[in-house]
Amino acid sequence: MPLVRIDVLGCDTERLAALGRAVQEALTETMGFPDDDRFQILTGHDGERSLLHHGTYLGVQRDDGIVYVSITLRAGRPASQKQELYRRIAELAQEYADTEPRNVFVALTENTDADWSLGYGEAQYLDLGQSRPADRVAAPPAPMR
């Protein structure tokens, strides 16, 4: 289960949704995540009360079209799979949101099973082993009194 955060300068909700779709499809295609395993925080910054800074680090000429994509996920994927993910995100961001690939900045943060609680204050990956949290059926709501 990845947790995705996308930050963009001067962006409307339509473009944010397109970028979220691009990242979700890339995760599904390259890493096999189910399409409904979608947890995203999409934020547009206005340039006045919130800013995004960028540089020309490693010779990449970025501009205010920068899109920061932060993905937190469980560790264990090979570097080649991560490289394919980066490439696919850049391709789909260009296709769906007219974002230049040079402006797509992706950072992965890996962690372990113990670092996730998907609800109920439980560590589902520890409690359920490797079974998907979606296999758990939610308890019905308590009757109203």
Among candidate residues 26, 24, 102, the one with its CA nearest the CA of residue 60: 102
133 is an active site residue: no
Contacts of 16 (CB under 8 A, 6+ apart): 6, 8, 42, 43, 44
Q: Which of 2, 34, 78, 141 is catalytic?
A: 2
Whether 74 contacts 112, CB under 8 Å: yes
* Residues assigned a catalytic role: 2
